[in-house]
Amino acid sequence: MVRESELIVAIRQVLGAPGERVVRWTGDDAAVVRARPLAVTSIDTVADGTHFTLATHSPADVGHKALAAALSDLAAMGAEPGEAYVSLALPAGFSPALALELVRGLATHALETGTTVAGGDVVRSGALVVSVAVTGWAESEGELAGRDGARPGDLVAVTGALGASAAGLLVLEGAGSADLDEATASRLAERHRRPTARLGAGRALVAAGATAMIDVSDGLATDARHLASASKVRLELSLAALPLAPGVEDLASATGRDARALAATGGEDYELLLTLPVDRWDEAAAAETRLTRLGSVVSGEGLELTGVRGAKRLHGYEHL
Ligand SMILES: [Mg+2]
């Protein structure tokens, strides 16, 4: 058991060696990082009771998830991950040993993604809250994509497969336990607890011509509206083509849900939704192992969803 006074020292040991860009890091008053031309910065916060519960997530899961959520915004820009700065707000019952387990989960995922945890802060709080600010890097603006570049005539595509996180959350809440085989249930739960950002795909897809991009963090139905609004265009998408993660149809049928509606509204899959000119499709499809065309960009505004019953009313997660 680590005493609280030793927590910061113990955290530093867990973090391992910093990346090459990092000149000064934890243990100094501020981090010093050798910059590349463009810094891409985002911050993300996860709170117990809002984004996870400790009843269904280990401290290491929370650390992993907090970093993955922050990195996903760098993936959506096409940036290369660099440094992370972590604020841990720990409730009274959360021991230094549990805090260290959380940091281990975060540090392991940092290593997997080439991210250096270069600084942070620990405070006492009423609930467990983890904020992660990440900085990514790029050589030029052309290496990056925003939400506002979609043009009428572009096609709309999504990476990977959707619905695993939403289905995993339902599994963790006890849904479908009678009808789902154990391996499928635990795979879905794992996708909810330990998502991964599509960092390599984000960079490759910008290089392959993506005109606009957003990570699917709040659910496709909501994130597609954000992209349409930022680009001042209308997206026409068919959910009939929506790629479903393994096990999502099983969970949906075990619980009487529409699998595609679940996948279109469940957040935290951290796949990428993007637009690109039709003549760049082959290049983009070659750059990404699984890319599915969902529809087109047209002039106008908003989002038109078709392909499942009640599609027009589907919404993902709304903040505040
Ligand atoms: Mg995002």
Could you state, in chain order, the average pLDDT of each consecutive group of 10 residues for the chain (320 residues)?
A: 70 88 90 97 96 96 98 98 97 94 97 95 95 98 98 98 96 85 92 97 98 97 97 97 94 92 94 98 94 98 90 73
Q: Give the Å distance between the CA of 222 and the centre of ligand 1.
A: 11
Q: Give the Å distance between the CA of 299 and the centre of ligand 1.
A: 24
Residue 237's pLDDT is: 97
Q: Give the Å distance between the CA of 68 and the centre of ligand 1.
A: 11
Q: Give the Å distance between the CA of 203 and the centre of ligand 1.
A: 15
Q: Give the Å distance between the CA of 268 and the centre of ligand 1.
A: 10
Q: Give the Å distance between the CA of 292 and the centre of ligand 1.
A: 20
Protein residues placing their CB within 5 Å of the ion ligand 1: 73, 215, 217
Q: Give the Å distance between the CA of 59 and the centre of ligand 1.
A: 23
Q: Give the Å distance between the CA of 172 and the centre of ligand 1.
A: 24
pTM of the model: 0.95
Q: Give the Å distance between the CA of 245 and the centre of ligand 1.
A: 20
SS (H, E, C) the chain: CCCHHHHHHHHHHHHCCCCCCEEECECECCCEECCCCEEEEEEEEEEECCCECCCCCCHHHHHHHHHHHHHHHHHHHCCEEEEEEEEEEECCCCCHHHHHHHHHHHHHHHHHHCCEEEEEEEEECCCCEEEEEEEEEECCHHHCCCCCCCCCCCEEEEECCECHHHHHHHHHCCCCCCCCCHHHHHHHHHHHHCCCCCHHHHHHHHHCCCCEEEECCCCHHHHHHHHHHHHCCEEEEEHHHCCECCCHHHHHHHCCCCHHHHHHHCCCCCCEEEEECHHHHHHHHHHCCCEEEEEEEECCCEEEEECCCCHHHCCCCCCC
